[in-house]
Amino acid sequence: MKFLCKTSNLLQALNLVSRAISNQQALPILGNVLIKVEGKRCQISATDLELSIITSFEANIENEGSITVPAKAIVNFAQYNSDEEVLLETSEGTQLKCTSAHAKTVIAGEAASEYPTISPIKKETTFSLEAQPLLEALHMVTFASAKTTLRPVLAGVYVHTEKGNLILVATDSYRLSEYTIHTDTIGGDVSCIIPAKVLEELKSILSSFKGDKKEKNGDSALKTSSPKIEIALSTQQIEINIGSTQLLSRLIDGKFPDYKQIIPDNKTTKASIKTRNLSTIAKRMHYFAKETNNNLTFTVRKSDNTMHIATPHTQAGRDEATLDIELTGEDNKIALSSSYLLDFLAHVDDDVVQMHLTDSMHPAVFHVPSNENLLHLIMPLRIQE
């Protein structure tokens, strides 16, 4: 194997596929990347056996071939090499020589045949999505998934079709986010649970499309204009294609909870609150609230259009504040987690957020006026006086 490529293309591709490498590898070789050159392109891939990422870029290839090398070693070389081009070639079978104008590095690798095979999926359902609405959906949904795998289905995002729209839902059983993508590109029914980790990586990749301003001639692993996202599903796997980058992952097996039944139908109170004001107060009160299960009590009063927020009495002290709001409906009261509230507000870009309440026993439902596609729900806590 012998080829010449731009150092920037090599580094960008390595950074992309390295997202699939786990810090806790079951096998030492899973800390490697697989480099394969064929035709006019260099393909780099990595896998942790659950998630695989493959990307490619144009290269000047003298001899085709493949090798697997430790990701940290070759990323280190590419990251700290200021030369514009680099020549990579194998020697003695499993050595990778990286040569540029001012550097010469040799990395000990292994035969490509030792690397786990990344097999394409059997495509049963295919559809495409625009990058921007998908990125927005991922931003507003994935954070609500469970961070542990005690209940595997809650560590994923439930993706399904309803009335021709694609709906993404995540919950850890204490809060829930639902986002609707309006699209006409999905012909059949879709219903699957995608690991949240996979969608977090997809979100990072889509964000890098958004921030890449220097692309020229489509040479790199990413392109400046966000392409359509091509998605293929089988019964057990998903394949996501973004330009020359491909993600493959197993789906989560199981049944997602019937979340519709916990969304209150009868909301008696709607409070419109300035996001920044609510966030500032919640951050301040979280210091005291975290001593009592992050408990914050919200009391809304129609008589003077205010929201009174208070922490319980703790050994550290107590805090309370009053916010001016726009209120329709009845007086109401509820206790919510300051941690979950702050988590949600950190993902909101709008100046105003709406809190819909039924009573102290039902979840608070949040909407953003500028985005009708979003619904966020936080389960109530016991009110502590």
Place of tokens 């949600």: 344
| pLDDT given for residue 225 in this prediction | 55
Contact by Cβ (8 Å): 360, 333: yes
pLDDT at 221 over 90: no
What distance in Å separates the CA atoms of residue 15 and residue 13, rounded to the nearest whole number? 5
Residue 229, pLDDT score:
94
Q: Say if residue 217's pLDDT is above 70.
A: no
Domains and CATH numbers, the chain: 2-114 (3.10.150.10), 125-214+221-250 (3.10.150.10), 263-378 (3.10.150.10)
What is the DSSP secondary structure assignment for residue 160, as one 8-state letter?
E
Q: What is the rounded average pLDDT of the residues 314-319?
A: 89
Q: What is the mean pLDDT of residues 2-31?
A: 93
- Specify the pLDDT at position 48: 94
pLDDT at 224: 45
**Concatenated DSSP letters for 91-113?**
ETTTEEEEEETTEEEEEE-B-GG
Q: Centre a 10 Å sphere on the Cβ of residue 208 and count the other Cβ atoms it contains.
A: 16
pLDDT tens profile 58-80: 999 999 999 999 999 999 999 99
Token code pair at residue 33: 């990347």
Q: How sure is the predictor about 267, in pLDDT bands with cuts at 50, 70 and 90?
A: confident
**CB contact at 8 A, 348 and 355:** no
Average pLDDT over residues 320-330: 96
Contact between 165 and 263 under an 8 Å Cβ cutoff? The reply is no
What integer pLDDT is reported at residue 223 of this predicted model? Answer: 45
Res. 222: pLDDT tops 70: no
Q: With 90 as the cut, is the pLDDT of residue 5 above it?
A: yes
Q: Looking at residue 28, what DSSP letter applies?
A: G
DSSP 210-249: HH-----TT-SSS-SS--PEEEEE-SSEEEEEETTEEEEE
Question: What are the structure tokens assigned to 236, written together?
Answer: 């057990």
Q: State mean pLDDT over 366-383.
A: 96
- Determine which helix (DSSP H) or strand (DSSP E) holds 148, and give its type and residue range: none
SS3 195: strand
